[in-house]
Amino acid sequence: MNEIYVTKTYLPEREKYDEILDKIWQTNYVTNHGPYGEKLESALSNYLDCPHVHWLSNGTVALQLAIHCLNLKGEILTTPFTYVATANSIMWEKCTPVFVDIDPHTFAIDHKELKKHITSRTSAILAVHIYGYPAPVKELQEFSDEHNLKLIYDGAHAFGSFYTGKSLANFGDITTLSFHATKVFHTIEGGAVVTNIEELSECLSLGATHGHRYEEYIQEGINAKNSELHAGIGLLNLKNFQHIVNGRKKVFEHYLSHLNATVLYILKPDYFEDFTYNYAYFPVVFPSEMILLQAEKSLNKENIFPRRYFYPALNTLPYLNTSSCPVAEDISKRILCLPLYHDLPLADVDRISIILKKNLP
């Protein structure tokens, strides 16, 4: 029986990619903002309807550049319910992550909890569009404006999700994206920083290329460039993006047809008004961690491997802030992301759902 993992990397037609490789071999131009890299940045800018998109080597360096170019110091309010790269990036830039608990219904940072954590050292909020669903963008912007804070969104899951008619990449001062191979849209390895602020765009662009253009040295920087080979994959995947999303939506809705009436808590697109989803994940919240572990064990016996995104809550990690975030700690113990990719056979969705329901009270 074939193994089924939580995701499967979408790869474009090999023949189409070979055509791009042939042209790269002919020009011998493989990196340093070559023609395919520039074409991809332009295509991403058009898709996101944002003038300043910088395609980078990964989503973590995108976060680091965002923090650096906003010149952040001191404390950054963030969520404990996310991948560790969010907090690591804050610490790598010599700032302190201050964890704010999450909303129990949306799993995003709870804007009502922000005021409890703000101090004279708070410089920014780094929120996450968790699972590709929107953080409370209106409330976060209002709080940031009121307290003169910068606002960054970690949009690693959010490419292809739209809220109030805008891409989720178009909120806050800077949004970062991940184009890792596990994401709905990917360049195998890659990421991006997105901003509508021209001065920030200049810093981000220079910061990703060691801070200089040719012989003009302007600012400090790092090497965050990506290659023409990765750009070629991105361009082909962007052309196929709606096909990918449509396939994922079909799988998502098939899960719902099985599981919607069970005791599981499932976050659904229609929970949010005026929202278009990218179908990045299918997370389910079990009644208890014990039931989750039993269901996971039953699935593993059938060569089905979901993932505990995101466990444990980051505030419980030994090298991070140990403040209490009871909602995040509880949800992280009970949430499991089921296999979801564009061509997952619906018969496998049936099988996964049946196994799950057998493990529910």
What percentage of residues in the chain have a pLDDT greater than 90? Answer: 95
> Is the full-model pTM beyond 0.95?
yes
Give the mean model confidence (pLDDT) for residues 261-287: 96
The residues facing 326 across adjacent strands are none
Any alpha helices (H) in the chain, and if so which ranges?
14-27, 35-48, 59-69, 85-92, 137-146, 198-207, 228-239, 241-259, 289-301, 326-334, 346-358
Q: What confidence score (pLDDT) does residue 214 get?
A: 82
| CA distances, 264 to each of 256, 295, 351 (Å) | 11, 12, 17
Asked if the model's pLDDT at residue 176 lies above 90, the reply is yes
Give the mean model confidence (pLDDT) for residues 315-342: 94
Asked if the model's pLDDT at residue 270 lies above 90, the reply is yes
* Annotated domain spans of the chain: 14-239, 241-358
Asked if the model's pLDDT at residue 197 lies above 80, the reply is yes
32: phi > 0 → left, psi -120 to 50 → alpha, else beta; which? left
Q: What confidence score (pLDDT) does residue 261 get?
A: 86
- Closest to 247 (Cα-Cα) out of 278, 274, 269: 278
CATH code for residues 14-239: 3.40.640.10
Chain mean pLDDT for the chain: 97
DSSP string, 87-128: HHHHHHTT-EEEE--B-TTT-SB-GGGGGGT--TTEEEEEEE
Q: What confidence score (pLDDT) does residue 71 get?
A: 98
What percentage of residues in the chain have a pLDDT greater than 70? Answer: 99
Class of the CATH domain delimited by 241-358:
alpha beta
| CA distances, 354 to each of 259, 288, 296, 305 (Å) | 9, 19, 13, 15
């939506």: which residue's tokens? 249
- Closest to 187 (Cα-Cα) out of 340, 10, 18: 10
Q: What confidence score (pLDDT) does residue 215 get?
A: 84
Other CB atoms within 10 A of residue 43 CB: 17
Q: Which residues contact 198 (CB under 8 A, 6 or more apart)?
A: 51, 52
pLDDT band per the 50, 70, 90 thresholds, residue 127: very high
Chain segment 40-70, per-residue pLDDT in tens: 999 999 999 999 999 999 999 999 999 999 9
Q: What confidence score (pLDDT) does residue 213 get?
A: 84
User: What six digits make up the tokens of 294?
Assistant: 């039993």
Asked if the model's pLDDT at residue 323 lies above 90, the reply is no
Give the mean model confidence (pLDDT) for residues 122-151: 98
The residues facing 120 across adjacent strands are none
Q: What confidence score (pLDDT) does residue 17 get?
A: 98
